[in-house]
Each structure stands twice: as structure tokens, then as C-alpha cells.
Structure 1
């Protein structure tokens, strides 16, 4: 992996705004299909629609007022704290919705009383409309999920065994209720006031004929990836509220109009030079029909004065839309001409077509002028694309259309590796098929290395590949799984390893974190810090494993009669029955295994899990299926077989088994002394698994395991803990 130092000066506010905009976008974008469905319902079935239908029209109000904000709340809460955050976020958002409605009802009742007292006819009274809580959901749901996450961490280590479900259920319900009340009386008035203020501001711009001036803000913001905060934080909520009242909104067209971008690309097609001219026609097709506006940003960055062309085109488009009274019935995402006409109001097709044409014409003429009168070289489109990706903070999904292979491989200033990710590294994930065994071990080892290097704010965790999304900065996988992970996390740095215990790639990751997060620090600090802290011993352990494994037979001694080694068919001892609530029970430890290869080793470790009542026989088969896909050999003489993600239903409770092979066995070509079988429900087994990772990264501890003569010694070394 190679990196270059990034310039940080002046990036703080821009990066912060980008993060806010990205968060808002991540909450809104997954729910755009629901907005489209609501738009179709509105277009066809309200009284002014194409085919009015009173029964179906009855669904319009509840969808816009309850369903859509609660969907956004669900997504926002899930982003922060997965399913638990989603539930609490929805509960809290319901309080904001109800509080807003209550306030509106009170204001309407008071206003109506004034009208009646003045002798005016009740029919003359115009009630205030409902405020649709999109902004409320985008604020309350992530906040509620974050509070729940922090509170869970306060008491998670103090819950008595067996009371976990009771505490988890009631704590979420109580916290959700408290936040519902807080949203009802606290946030609802603030959001109502904010929406009223924003709506008045937009109405004032429209009435004064100044709405085109918003292009002075929106068009530059698009190029610098600052538009999401404006678009999803302000324009979309206001547009939805306006569309609910008027059946359409011009606000949906302020940012999505493809005219300004396609005009600039057409100007490059005619008047550009070199690679920029050659790639512009294809980029224009992608931008106009595919709706990926970011593809024209590098062309503007090559010649920044072209921002004026984008602004001119944007203002022209807005002016024409206002003049013709056009609007969309819901947000158009992506900003494709196809998507725009798909959600256009029935009286707006002509006006929208003219607005797009006018915007493209003006931006084309201005861009052509600037290209002709200014100095123009051949245009380094690869460098400009890399600059765009650097501002964006990750690889562009369409960079390959401009550079042939993306900016990351073009020798651009912000080049990294094959991912194109250029921002600071905040989130690292280890991913495997099931997300509970090998990945947890690797995450523990690297987490300690990263902490020892001084980067306490970098999250290092583990997940199943099937649960990944494109939020991670670095993704570590076994080499057989890298392609699968890349499909889900295309913008991340991908690191492939042969095994998770002592891969030399870990030091490369720590070095990369140092270069990205602290460019002024020396690249060797991470490694030195690891060694001094004792966290970087994985490599040393790997070097000593062969000798330790070879000497294991001589080092092991004969166990006492009451601790005699048992094979895979040994019956549990009576005292083991009292240890059913432990992750690693004495009855699941074998000091002298009988297996000779990986297949029989899986059978032996799996049989102990079955005997412990943790899994059924189907799980053992899933362990074999997992091994056939990807090896569970970790390094340092350790294998951790476990089932596939689909085998979760075969697990009754979390448990582990431990089998030692003093003479070593062949695990798919790797000499293996220890086999630890895993069956995990949720994250209950991860504490012990982290201890296992630290143990096997320390040669002295591995030697202790090799020399242990009793199960109690094994448990003491591994630090077994209750569930």
C-alpha cells in the first residue's frame, strides 16, 4: 500500500459539512423508493391526479406524515446502533411527530377562537397545515440511537447472568419512552419553528423572483461535495411538505437539473483537448441519462472558472422552472432526466424540458467561452478525478469512465491503493463468512496494534461479509473472500491476508493509518509502539510457532487421573453439568486430541459443542462447509473452525471447545497444535475470543498452553468468563 501526505489546512469545516451531508444522505437515499411510491400515489389518485380515486387517496396523508419520517428514523437509528438503535430512534421520532401535531392543533384552536370572537365566519378560517417531521427524524433518530448505545455500554458489564434479555428489553423501552417525551416537548417546537422559518424564506425568494440566486450556493457546493447537507437537510424536507400541500414542488429541481453539467461536458466535447475531450461525450451520457452528476466535477476542477458556467446554467434552469410553475411530485434520485420526468407533475413536462434545455445551453456557451479565451493544455483528467475523490473522501463510482482504470491508478496526487480512498481512516473491519471466529481474532490483534500506535479513535471491529455496507475505510479479509467483500465495500482500502493471527499486513495497515491520520508522524512509530507495548508480538509468535509446535510432544506431560484427556466421544463428567452457563466449560476441553487432519479435527471440536448442548449435528456439517470455502487456520498453530452464517439457527447458546494435539495435525497444509471450535449467539463469545487472540500472539502464553496438564490451567490461561 502506498499513500501520500494530504494537505489538511482549511479542510476542517468542509470535511465536517461533508460528513453531515453524507449522514443526511445516508438516511434519505435508501428511502427514496418510498418517496417515489408516495409520488405515484399522489400523481394518480388525489382529486387533481390523473385517475382520481378517493379510497386510495386516503393513504397519501398517512404515508407522508407517518410512514416516510419513520422510515428515515429507522434508517438513521440503524446507522448508529443497528436494530436496537432503529427501534429506539423510531419511538423517539414518534414523540416528535405527535408533539408537532399537538402544537399545530393548539395554534389552530387559538386562532379559530379569535376568528369566532371577532364574528368572522368559521369558513374563513385557514388552518395551519401539519409539519412533516423529516428534519425531526434526521435529528432525533440518530441522537436517540447514540444515547441508547452509550447507556448500554454503561451497564453491559454489570448485568447478572441470565438477566440480559430482561435488561435489554426494558432498558430500550424505558429509554425510548423517555426520549419520546423529550422529543414531544423539546424537539418538536424547535423543528416546527425551523420549518416555518425555512418555508417563509423560500416563499420570500419566490415572491421576490430571487429563487434563481440559490444556484450561487448549490452549483459550487455540488462540485465540492457539500450539497448533501443543503439538498437532504433543507430542500427535500421543504419540497415534500410543499408537494403534500400543492401537489408539486420546484425545490426538487434546484439541485437535480442535469442541464448545467451536460452543457459543460458538451463544451469539452467540442472545444476541449486531449483526454478531457475524448472522455467528455461518454461522461455526458452517464451524467444526463444515468444521473451521476459527479462525473462532470473533474472537468470543472481542471478549469475552476467553469464554476461560473455551472452557476449560469443553474440560474437559467431555476428561472424557467419558476416562470412555468413547474415542479416534481417527489425527489428525483438520481438526477437523471429519466427520473425527473418520471416524477414530474402532470402540468410540468414542457417547463421542465425547457428548463433543462435552457440550463444546458447557457452552461455550454459560457464553458465554451472560457475554454476558448483561457489557456488550455491537454487536460490531466486523471489528476482532476483524483482531486475530486480526495475532496469526496472515497473513490468515485464513475472514475473509471474518465480514466480507464480510475484515478487511483493514474499517478494522481491523492493516489492510495486500488480503492481510491483518500481520507483519514476511522473505521476498520475484519470480515469473514460468519463474522464470529477468524475475523474476531484478527480484529483483536490489529486493534491492539492500532491502539499501541496511539490511534485510540480508530474503530476496529469484525463483521460477516453479508452484513457489510460501504461505510468502512479499511476492510481486511482472507484472500479467498476479498472479491466478495469488494462488491459490498467498493470505496474501502482492501487488505488480503493468508491468516489472521500474525499477518505482516497488519503493520502495513498501522503504517497506513499513521500516514492518513497523522502525516507528520514517522511511519515506524506504529511498529515500535507495538513492540514496546507487547501488542505487536504476533510476528514474533509466528516465528516461534514452528519450534514450539515441534517441541510440544516433549513438553506435554501425562495428566493426572482426574484430568485425563478425552476424545471426541467422551461423556461429560458430572461436574460439567454445573458449567453449562460458561462459554468454555471444562467438559469441552481435550488435552490430547485424536484427530489427524482438519476434517477429523472439525468433527472432534464440533462433537464437544454438540455434547455441551450448544449446537445440533447440523452445525458440525456447516463447520465443514465453512472450511471448504475458506480455511479457518489462524496462524501460530491455531485453527478456529466454525459454522457458516446460514447455520446460526443450529446454535442453541454460545460455546467454545478446546482441543490440543501435542504431536500436531495437518490442517490443509498448515501444522496445527490447537483447535478451538466456536458457536456464537450474538456477541456473547467475543470476550473470550479476544483473550484467545491475545494469548496466541504471545509466545510465552502459547508455551504455557502446550505445557498445561489440567483443564484448570487452560481455563486460567484463556481467562474464561461467564456469559
Structure 2
């Protein structure tokens, strides 16, 4: 009974998440157009722009009234019914535009999907009944007639209705700003961001409302509520100074990516590691927004991604001081609270309990709160035995198809290159845009895996806890290497074993090519590897050899034929599944006596 009762609640949460993602999905593909409009306005507005120009600024008003709503309506229709839905969504949107005096972003977000849905349902009823030879007539006239009817409906009803609603919401926002209550919105925005609703809030709600305001007064503080990089950079800087273990060592790189790259998702796991840090980002967001209001600061258009570079590019001349001050105040407040929390943390992380494992615990707990933990775990386990033989391309799928998935794709692409798998393309996209096709491997976050499987049920699906730091990438590389080398796996394994027993154990190594000797080690063998490298380098130098020895990790091997990789037998078996060009030598231990013989053979 309790399980049945829990299902509707989980379903409701999933529907809310999908709805927010759907709204942002209409805005995200068109962010470039919004930025173009914002730059035109910021640079060439007369007066007030950096380079006032009465001719170029004529592009601004038509772009705001026609171009942007039509693009949004087209995208909304395409999300529902591909190209035909997109065309009808665009036609329907023009009716909303003509029927109102305000920019029809909200009207486009209604009429675009409605046009796509009507076209889809009409085709389901009649398309299969069309006689051969009449397909083109049916396709053109059905879309045209439905688009015409929806445009008329939008002009008569939707345009005036949305215009009234927009004015009501705008007055509400103006009232909140007038009583200086807008900073309180960050009490909800910051936690919602960390629960991966940042795109839904920023692009689905704040951006359309911000554009309405900016079209009237030339700027809007609403563009800064979600995009402000201050709260995130404050937390990451605190981890740089007061964090522990892997979280501390990874924080500097994460800070650069977050602040300058604008990928806010990278700091979410740090907050989820220590939930008390929610207070830090909430306080930082509130103080930053209060500072923006104090200086009457705002942006010309949406800053996407939320990079300090994008924020400053969208800042009008009269708001630079306020925007910089708001970001700085948010960062300072967030840093101070985070530092206080981290310094008071007396926990001593176990040597084996690294940052990645903490991320896994946090993400599993979050998935459990959505009723997806057990299902995601089952799906993740199922992929461990998946068939990698047919994989031809890899897609990283996240909520918006930008940001974190792009970073994850870049990381795996680099691993593929090192492992000799560069011929397999690795791309990223929004989970909603996945297509079910053969030869596809989809990597996504655990809380999104259910949707990814529904979109591409025949793809190999791999769920990760965090795109930036996942041990599953090495599993993917190893599985693909095994799939490529399956026919010769037994021969290669026997060859590895023979290197420790056969009299001609160096027979398979071309010492004339060797320029560098790499000792592969695990963390528990670091000291042994260091000693072996030191001893071997001393012997090589004494013998006047040009070859050098280095200690490297398994991920940092340069897959070239002039590298001789030396490690224990078990490690070599693992390395050979990942690299194809390097030469190998298995030893009983890193102090093996046979290492001295290498000095005589290399140049």
C-alpha cells in the first residue's frame, strides 16, 4: 500500500521537472539570438550605447518583437512534432505577436508547443489514410490550414490574454523591486539551482520576464538573479583554502571553470557534500541581489552561460559599478560563511573515501528523494554487462545540453584520444533531443537516466554521479578497448604472462624505438615506483644513455611506440586494454632485478 501511495508523488515531481525543462528547452537553443539582440542594444543604442548609431539600432525593435518570439515558437513546435510542428508553431506565434503590444515571449511559449501538438494529433488521425500521390498536398495544406486557424485564435485570444498576464506579472515584479523584497527570491533560486532546476528557472522564467523589463527601461536585474557567479565562486574559494582531500585539490580548477566558463553545475556537488553550505549560497545570492538593487544595476540581455565575462558583456555603461559590486559582495558573503562552516568541520575523511565517493553518496540520496535511486541503480548495474561491440558514437546528455555535459564530453574525448579510440565521436546534447539509434552510448546523470532510456531505449546507457569527475569513464574506455581487441584478447594475455617466464622475455620489445620508460603505479605503490625510477635513471645516466625513466599514473600514459610501460603483471593486463601503441614489460615487482638488463638494451 505504501509503495503504491508513493508512486503518484514521484510521478508529480518528475512531471514538474520535465515541465520546467520543457520551458527552458524553448529558450536555450535561442540564447545566441537573445545575446545578439542584447549586444546590438548595448553597443548601438542612441543615446546610451557605447557606439550610438541610428541606423544599426533599427535592428533592435524588430528583433525583439518578431525574431525572438518566432524563434521561440518555432523551437517549441519542433520539440513536440519536429519540422511540421515547428512550422505550425511559428505560424501560430505570429498571431500572438500581432495581437499584442508587448514582446510575445510568453505567447510564443504557449503557441509554439500548441501548434506542434495540434499538427501531431492531426497527422495521427489522417496521415495514414492519405492516398499515394496526395502526400504533398496533404502535408502543405494541413499545416497551412492549422497554422492559419491557430494564428487567428492567438490574435483574438492568446495575444490579449498574455499581454494582460504579462502586465500583471510585470507590475508584481515592479512592486517586489519597489519594496526591496527581490533579494528574498534568492532563498528559493539558489537551492533550486543545485537541484538542477537552474535552466528551468533562469531560462524558463527569469529570462522572458527580464526581456519584458529590458525592452522598456533598457536593462533588468532579473537577468542577474540566477546568472550571478558570486555565490558559487565564494564556496569554491573556501574549499581551496579550508577544504579537505580531493575536494580541496579539485576546487581551484572548478573555480576557474565556474567563474570564467560560466558552468555553475560544477560547484553543486561541493554544496551537496555539506548541506549546511546551502546557507552560504543563499546568503550570497540575497546580498548580491540587494547590492544590484542598491546600485540600480541590471543587464541588457541574458548572460548565458553565467560567466563573469558574459555578465560584463551584457552590462550597460551605467551598471558596471553595481554589477561588479554585487558579484563581489555575493562572493565575499558566500566565502565567509563557507569558510566558517568548513573550518568548524572536524570530520577526518578516510584515506579511501575520496571526493568522487562523496559525490556518489550525495547523488544517490538526491535520486532517492525523487524515487529514482533503486531504479537508477538497477539501470546502472545493467550497463556493466552491456554489449559495447556495436558502439559507434557517444553522447553526453544533460538537462540543457550545455555546460556540464560539454565538460564531460571533453574529458572523455581526451581519454579516448590517449587510448587510441579517437575515431569514436563524443558529443553532448540535451536529454530531450536524444534519438533512438543503433551504435549509440549515452552517458547521463543518474537523476536523468530514466528519461534518457525512454528517449533511446536501444542505446547503451551509462549513469554517472557527476560529469566532471567519474570513475565510470575509465570503465567505458576499458570496455570499448576490450570490445575492439576481443578477438586477440587470449593471445595478448598469454603474451603478458610469457614476459615473466620465457627465456626471450625481451624479444617482443623494439629497444631501438624506446625514448622513455614509464613506470605505472597504483597509489599504494607510489614509493616503490619512485625508487625504481630513481635507480634506473641513475644507471641510465651512468651508462651514457639518452633514454629517461618516469613515474606516471595509468591515465597519463602517452600512447606512442617510443614508450616502454613497466608495471606488475596485473596492472599490465589492465593497461593493455586501454592503450594500443606503447610497448609493455611485466615484472614481478618494481624492484625486479631484470630492470638492470634494460640499461644495456636501450639507446
Same topology, TM > 0.5: yes
Alignment of structure 1 residues 422-433 onto 2, 5 Å? none
Deviation at 1:320, TM superposition (A): 0.8
Q: Would you say the 8 A contact 1:287–1:336 is kept in 2?
A: yes
Deviation at 1:186, TM superposition (A): 2.4
Deviation at 1:342, TM superposition (A): 1.1
Structure 1 partner of 2:286: 315
Structure 2 partner of 1:68: 68
Match among 196, 203, 220 for residue 225 of structure 1:
196
Q: Would you say 1:337 and 2:308 are equivalent positions?
A: yes
Change (3 A) 1:249 1:390: farther
Q: Would you say the 8 A contact 2:26–2:109 is kept in 1?
A: yes
Change (3 A) 1:197 1:494: closer
CA distance in 1, matches of 2:354, 2:233: 20
Alignment of structure 1 residues 543-562 onto 2, 5 Å? none
Q: Would you say 1:240 and 2:211 are equivalent positions?
A: yes
Deviation at 1:65, TM superposition (A): 0.7
CA distance in 1, matches of 2:73, 2:250: 41
Change (3 A) 1:70 1:59: same
Q: Would you say 1:40 and 2:39 are equivalent positions?
A: yes
Q: Would you say 1:207 and 2:178 are equivalent positions?
A: yes
Deviation at 1:229, TM superposition (A): 3.1
CA distance in 1, matches of 2:263, 2:168: 32
CA distance in 2, matches of 1:374, 1:190: 54
Structure 2 partner of 1:54: 54
Alignment of structure 1 residues 218-367 onto 2, 5 Å? 218-367=189-338
CA distance in 1, matches of 2:226, 2:34: 17
CA distance in 2, matches of 1:180, 1:494: 33
What SS class does the counterpart of residue 86 from structure 2 fall into? helix
CA distance in 1, matches of 2:185, 2:427: 42
Count of aligned positions: 403
Structure 2 partner of 1:19: 18
Deviation at 1:351, TM superposition (A): 1.4
Change (3 A) 1:414 1:339: farther
CA distance in 2, matches of 1:374, 1:251: 35
TM-score (norm 1): 0.51
CA distance in 1, matches of 2:321, 2:378: 44
**Structure 1, unaligned runs of 5 or more:** 1-6, 101-129, 394-407, 421-429, 434-464, 496-504, 514-723
CA radius of gyration, larger in = 1
Change (3 A) 1:494 1:240: closer
Change (3 A) 1:493 1:184: closer
Deviation at 1:191, TM superposition (A): 1.2
Alignment of structure 1 residues 107-506 onto 2, 5 Å? 130-378=101-349, 381-386=355-360, 416=380, 470-471=431-432, 476-478=437-439, 482=440
CA distance in 2, matches of 1:431, 1:94: 43
Q: Deviations over 1:305-362 (max 9, x none)?
A: 2111111000111011111111111100000011111111111112111111110110
What SS class does the counterpart of residue 432 from structure 2 fall into? coil
What SS class does the counterpart of residue 239 from structure 1 fall into? helix
Change (3 A) 1:307 1:492: closer
Structure with more helix by fraction = 2
Q: Would you say the 8 A contact 1:14–1:226 is kept in 2?
A: no
CA distance in 2, matches of 1:311, 1:264: 11
CA distance in 1, matches of 2:316, 2:258: 23
Deviation at 1:232, TM superposition (A): 2.1
Structure 2 partner of 1:584: none
Change (3 A) 1:11 1:373: farther
Q: Would you say the 8 A contact 1:386–1:414 is kept in 2?
A: no
Deviation at 1:486, TM superposition (A): 7.9
Deviation at 1:472, TM superposition (A): 5.8
Q: Would you say the 8 A contact 1:260–1:314 is kept in 2?
A: yes
Deviation at 1:207, TM superposition (A): 0.7
TM-score (norm 2): 0.61
